[in-house]
Structure 1
Amino acid sequence: MAAARSGTQLDLAGEGSANPTEADEWDPGRTIPAAAVRAALLTKGLDPDPRGLRIRGANIIGALDLEHATLPCTLTVTDSRFNEPVLMKGLACRQLVLTGSHTPGLNLDGATITGDVFLTGGFTATGAVRANGANIAGQLNLRGATLTNPDGNALNLDGATIAGGMFLDEKFTATGGVRALGANIAGQLSLRGATLTNPHGYALNLDGATITSDLFLDEKFTATGGVRAPGANIGGVLNLRGATLTNPDGDALNLDGATITGGMFLDEGFTATGQVTMKFATLNVLVGSDKPPGQLVVTGWRLGDIHGGLNDPKTMTSWLDAVPAKEFALQPWHEAAAVYDRQGRPTDAKRLRVAAARRVTARSKLPTKLLRTLYGWFAGYGYYPLLAGVWLIAAAIMAGTLTFFFGATQALTGGAPLDPGLYGAAVVIPPAAGIIPSSWTITSPLWLAWTLIALKAFGWLQTAILIAGLTGLLKKN
Structure 2
Amino acid sequence: MAQDDPPDGWTPQERRMWEAYRVGEWCENVAEVRGSALRRLLISAPSPRPGCQARLRLRGAHITGESDLAEVTIAGSVRLDRCRFDGAVRLDNAHLGAALELNACTMPGLSLVGARVTLECGITACTVTGTVDLRSLTVGNRLSLNDTVVRPTHGEAALDAQSVEVGEDFWAAGLDCAGTVFLNNARIQDVLALRGTRISGDSGLQAPELTVGGGLFLDSGFSGTGQINFYGASIGGSVRLDDCRLDGPGAGAGTYALNLSCAEIGGDIWADHGLGVSGPAVIQDTSVRGSVVLKGARFDISSMPTADAALDASRLRVGGDIDCRDGFVAHGMVNLRDSRVGGSVLFEGAELTALGNRPALRGNGVETGGVLNLCDGFTAHGRISLINVTVRSRVCFDDAALDAPVGESALTFVGSSAATLTLRLREAPAGVVELRHSRIGVLRDTPAAWPSGLVLDGAVYDSLHPALPARVRLPWLARDPSGFVPQPYEQLAAAYQRQGQDADARAVLVAKHRSMRRTLSPPARLWSLLQDATVGYGYHPLRAVWLLLCLLTTGTALFSAWPPMAVGDGKVPPFQPTIYTLDLLLPLVDLGQERSYAPTDLAQWAAVALIGMGWLLATTVAAGASRVLRRA
Q: Indicate the TM-score class for this superposition, using the shorter chain for normalisation.
A: 0.7 to 0.9
Deviates more, 1:113-122 or 1:446-455: 446-455
Which residue of 265, 269, 273 maps to 2:373?
A: 265
**Normalized per residue, which structure has more helix?**
1
| 1:145 paired residue number | 244
User: Percent identity between the aligned chains?
Assistant: 19
Which residue of 468, 474, 477 maps to 2:631?
A: 474
Q: In the aligned structure 1, how far is the partner of 2:219 from the partner of 2:514?
A: 52
Quote how far apart the aligned CAs of 1:465 are: 4.5
| 2:134 paired residue number | 38
| 1:254 paired residue number | 362
| 1:392 paired residue number | 544
Secondary structure at the aligned position of 1:133 is classed as coil
Q: In the aligned structure 1, how far is the partner of 2:446 from the partner of 2:579?
A: 47
- TM-score w.r.t. the length of structure 2 is 0.58
| 2:434 paired residue number | none
Which residue of 241, 245, 262 maps to 1:159?
A: 262
Q: Give the letter aligned to residue 415 of structure 1.
A: F
Q: In the aligned structure 2, how far is the partner of 1:65 from the partner of 1:359?
A: 76
The within-5 A match list for 1:129-208 is 129-149=228-248, 150-151=250-251, 152-199=255-302, 200=305, 201-208=308-315
Name the CA shift for 1:467/1:410 in 2 (closer, same or farther; >3 Å).
same
Q: Give the letter aligned to residue 398 of structure 2.
A: S
Which residue of 296, 302, 306 maps to 2:421?
A: 306
Which residue of 457, 482, 488 maps to 1:330?
A: 457
Quote how far apart the aligned CAs of 1:411 are: 4.7
| Cα deviations by residue, 1:304-360 (Å, 9 ceiling, x for unpaired) | 3335737445559936x645xxxx562235688789969975759969996996899
Which residue of 338, 351, 354 maps to 1:244?
A: 351
**Aligned residue pair count:** 439
Q: In the aligned structure 2, how far is the partner of 1:342 from the partner of 1:115?
A: 57
Q: Give the letter aligned to residue 208 of structure 2.
A: D
Quote how far apart the aligned CAs of 1:212 are: 1.6
Unaligned runs of 5+ in 1: 13-28
| 1:95 paired residue number | 191
Secondary structure at the aligned position of 2:365 is classed as coil
Query: Residues 465 and 474 of structure 1 are in contact (CA less than 8 Å); yes or no, is this contact kept in structure 2?
Result: no
| 1:57 paired residue number | 147
Quote how far apart the aligned CAs of 1:176 are: 0.7
Secondary structure at the aligned position of 2:160 is classed as coil
Secondary structure at the aligned position of 2:387 is classed as coil
Unaligned runs of 5+ in 2: 1-77, 81-95, 106-124, 153-157, 405-409, 425-441, 465-490, 566-573
Query: Residues 361 and 372 of structure 1 are in contact (CA less than 8 Å); yes or no, is this contact kept in structure 2?
Result: no
Higher Cα Rg, which structure: 2
| Cα deviations by residue, 1:17-38 (Å, 9 ceiling, x for unpaired) | xxxxxxxxxxxx8413675572
Name the CA shift for 1:352/1:450 in 2 (closer, same or farther; >3 Å).
closer
Name the CA shift for 1:71/1:270 in 2 (closer, same or farther; >3 Å).
same
Deviates more, 1:93-102 or 1:303-312: 303-312
Which residue of 395, 408, 414 maps to 1:286?
A: 395
Secondary structure at the aligned position of 1:171 is classed as coil
Quote how far apart the aligned CAs of 1:460 are: 3.1
Quote how far apart the aligned CAs of 1:416 are: 3.0
Query: Residues 402 and 448 of structure 1 are in contact (CA less than 8 Å); yes or no, is this contact kept in structure 2?
Result: no
Q: In the aligned structure 2, how far is the partner of 1:203 from the partner of 1:318?
A: 30
Q: Does 1:109 align with 2:216?
A: no
Q: In the aligned structure 2, how far is the partner of 1:440 from the partner of 1:222?
A: 88
The within-5 A match list for 1:273-422 is 273-284=381-392, 285-289=394-398, 293=402, 294=404, 295-307=410-422, 309=424, 311-312=443-444, 314=446, 318=450, 322=453, 328=455, 330-332=457-459, 345=499, 361=516, 367=521, 374=528, 378=532, 387-389=539-541, 391-393=543-545, 395-396=547-548, 399=551, 403=555, 409=561, 411-412=563-564, 415-418=575-578
Which residue of 339, 342, 357 maps to 1:232?
A: 339
- TM-score w.r.t. the length of structure 1 is 0.75
Which structure would you say has the larger RCO, counting Cα contacts within 8 Å and 6 or more residues apart?
1
Q: In the aligned structure 2, how far is the partner of 1:441 from the partner of 1:9?
A: 127
Name the CA shift for 1:146/1:466 in 2 (closer, same or farther; >3 Å).
same
Q: In the aligned structure 2, how far is the partner of 1:307 from the partner of 1:135?
A: 39
Q: Give the letter aligned to residue 68 of structure 1.
A: S
Name the CA shift for 1:465/1:168 in 2 (closer, same or farther; >3 Å).
farther
| 1:17 paired residue number | none
Name the CA shift for 1:89/1:474 in 2 (closer, same or farther; >3 Å).
same
| Cα deviations by residue, 1:260-306 (Å, 9 ceiling, x for unpaired) | 22111122111211111111111222122267735122221122333
Secondary structure at the aligned position of 2:134 is classed as helix
Q: In the aligned structure 1, how far is the partner of 2:527 from the partner of 2:297?
A: 51
| Cα deviations by residue, 1:412-448 (Å, 9 ceiling, x for unpaired) | 476335499x969x948x89x7889658988846765
